Amino acid sequence: MRPFYGVIALVLALGACAPATTVAPPPAPEPTPTEPTTEITRVPPPPPEELITEIPDRWWMLDVERDAIFGAGVDRAYSEILNAKQPQREVVVAIIDSGVDITHEDLDDVLWTNPDEPRNGRDDDGNGYVDDVYGWNFIGGPDGRHVDEDTYEVTRLVAACRDGADRPEPTTPELCARAEADLQQMRQENEMMLVQIRSMDAVVDQAMALLKQQIGTDSLTVAQVRALSPVRNDVRQARQIYLQLAQQNITSEMIKEEIERIEMLLERGLDPTFDPRPIVGDDYANTAERVYGNSDVIGPDASHGTGVAGIVAAERRNNQGVDGIATNTRIMVVRTVPNGDERDKDVANAIRYAVDNGAHIINMSFGKGYSPFKQVVDAAVRYAQERGVLLVHAAGNDAKDLATEPNYPNRYFMSGDTATLWIEVGASAWRGRGQLASDFSNYGARQVDVFAPGSDITSSAPGNKYEAASGTSFAAPVVSGIAAMLMAYYPELTAADVRRIILESAVPFRDVMVIRPGTEDEQVRFGDLSITGGIVNAYRAVQMAERMTNDR
């Protein structure tokens, strides 16, 4: 499910909670990692006691020890350790997502290109994919059209159950009944949410108009509104509304976009009669089918994937836009995620395509509550693991405990064993202390490995733009970027080494009490939200990589 971006705090405040949607019992708990065996110098001090009230510039790049900001220590890794080093190899990170704007000024020079595939209308390298120069689009059609909006997986399952034909295996009457109930619950919740947000929109519009009238301007700034000392009660309330929204980085435009998103969700995503799949032209029931789609990796809406790609590897130190985390890294684009739920068949083929074309890391910033063809995805994950490819996955944005409400894809194979080259990532926030965990983030004491900065991350956006966004979708590429950094500077490290370093070097906040995501004030130990109880830190990871490689 795609995140709600800047309006997620508003949606949660209105009580929007995702329903329980599972197809299997919770997986067996994963063993807690052993204590680090490689020394990391200087244990960081306790985090600052006071909550931060304004978003620090480039906060996700900063370091809790050096800067007193709960970032990922990227700037410190480069300035204190890597400044005298040169990367030793080029790393390829596959972005399985909604598409990427390959013309973006901050991405055009860091794209992976297929050396054996000139754009000439032929399959020169013989891999079945014609003109896959920058990657592949598994939700495009041979005529150049694209799937944009698609249904949720629960919607597709209900449609299959109602139809009675071509049901995914194993589909049972109990599963069909649960899916039907979940779909109806989701529709009811979103209909209620739509009413509430429309009401909120009207209130905000009225407040904005009143403030503009009072100030005598056509546009508002935080400084202007903060400077007001209103006597009238209605102006005072309007000022409070504006400042509260500004503090959460929410604009009236975002509220209107959320209204449009929910309207489209009810019309398309949660409508069992809607089916855009014929655009692709594949035999959808044939999960072994590999070759379909087209070579247009941008697609109709590349905003999500462009942001994810920029966090990993936007051009560094080019005096424009943002800096990605990793240098000497190439972005391979595999378009698989529509405005709706991704399909298991496409996810499996995207993973295989990335592995076969040389990806070292696969970033998967997507997830859903049902996985009717999970065995196909499991086989692809095994395929990647056998070839030493690291998979990084976003935990999801429904503020739920993955111990009781699994999110797919995940590391747990249907056979009972688990993927070992997998990192599951929750999102942390810049405010710190009691609000260390982002309020939307999924969590799990044995299901989520680690947290990473995921709130208000500024990255690339289509059309040479830059936008701030929030979600575990943006925490996962922070981890992918650190993994690529380690692989580039320390090529002797295996994917297993890199995974171990990232987890064992995470800054431990295990005993810090935080607000449990999805609640107003329920307190929980941060260590109860993930296996490591920590936040990734590039500086400490590089320290550990230095020690490991020197000891070999």
Contact yes or no for 31/380 (Cβ under 8 A): no
Q: Which two tokens stand for residue 180?
A: 């039907």
**Residue at 135 is within a domain:** yes
Q: Which two tokens stand for residue 11?
A: 């949606």
The alpha carbons of the chain give a radius of gyration, in whole angstroms, of 23
Q: Name which of 322, 318, 361 is nearest 482 in CA terms.
A: 361
31's CB contacts (< 8 A; 6+ apart) are none
Q: Name which of 463, 500, 542, 471 is nearest 302 in CA terms.
A: 463
Distance from C-alpha of 387 to C-alpha of 333, rounded to nearest angstrom: 19
Q: Burial level of 83, CB count in 10 A (0-12/13-18/19+)?
A: exposed
- Count of domains in the chain? 1
Distance from C-alpha of 165 to C-alpha of 108, rounded to nearest angstrom: 45
pLDDT at site 3 = 37
Domain that holds residue 344: 27-150+276-551
Give the angle subtended at the CA of 518 by the CAs of 514 and 523, to the nearest 5°: 25
Q: Name which of 52, 74, 48, 50 is nearest 61 in CA terms.
A: 74
**Residue at 169 is within a domain:** no
* Strand, helix or coil for residue 6: helix
Q: Which two tokens stand for residue 373?
A: 């063809």
Give DSSP secondary structure letters for 68-132.
SS-S--HHHHHHHTGGG----S-EEEEEEES---TT-TTTTTSB---TT--SSSS-TTSSS-TT-
Position 98: which residue type? Answer: S
* Strand, helix or coil for residue 335: strand
Distance from C-alpha of 380 to C-alpha of 355, rounded to nearest angstrom: 9
**Cβ count near 118 (within 10 Å):** 13
**Residue at 391 is within a domain:** yes
Q: Name which of 546, 453, 485, 496 is nearest 93 in CA terms.
A: 485
**Residue at 385 is within a domain:** yes
pLDDT at site 13 = 37
**Cβ count near 236 (within 10 Å):** 13
Question: What is the chain's pLDDT, residue by residue, as a tens digit (552 residues)?
Answer: 333 333 334 433 333 333 333 333 334 344 344 333 444 444 455 555 566 778 999 999 999 999 999 999 999 999 999 999 999 999 999 999 999 999 999 999 999 999 999 889 999 999 999 999 999 999 999 999 999 999 999 999 999 998 875 566 566 888 899 999 999 999 999 999 999 999 999 999 999 999 999 999 999 999 999 999 988 999 999 999 999 888 877 889 989 999 999 999 999 999 999 999 999 999 998 999 999 999 999 999 999 999 999 999 999 989 899 999 999 999 999 999 999 999 999 999 999 999 999 999 999 999 999 999 999 999 999 999 999 999 999 999 999 999 999 999 999 999 999 999 999 999 999 988 789 999 999 999 999 999 999 999 999 999 999 999 999 999 999 999 999 999 999 999 999 999 999 999 999 999 999 999 999 999 999 999 999 999 999 999 999 999 999 887
Distance from C-alpha of 348 to C-alpha of 231, rounded to nearest angstrom: 61
pTM comes to: 0.88
Q: Name which of 548, 550, 542, 540 is nearest 43 in CA terms.
A: 540
**Residue at 380 is within a domain:** yes
Give DSSP secondary structure letters for 519-534.
SSS-EEEGGGSSSS-E
**Cβ count near 8 (within 10 Å):** 24
Q: Name which of 149, 382, 180, 377 is nearest 279 in CA terms.
A: 149
pLDDT at site 433 = 78
Give DSSP secondary structure letters for 241-255.
HHHHHHHTT--HHHH
Contact yes or no for 341/1 (Cβ under 8 A): yes
pLDDT at site 63 = 96
Distances (CA, A) of 340 to 276, 281, 329, 536: 11, 19, 29, 29
Q: b vs e for 277-293, b when ≥16 Cβ sit within 10 Å of the residue's Cβ?
A: eebbebebeebeebebb
**Residue at 362 is within a domain:** yes
pLDDT at site 19 = 33
**Residue at 264 is within a domain:** no
**Residue at 243 is within a domain:** no
Q: Which helix (H) or strand (E) holds 25?
A: none
Contact yes or no for 538/482 (Cβ under 8 A): yes
Output the domain CATH number for residue 429: 3.40.50.200
pLDDT at site 39 = 44
Q: Which two tokens stand for residue 41?
A: 């110098």
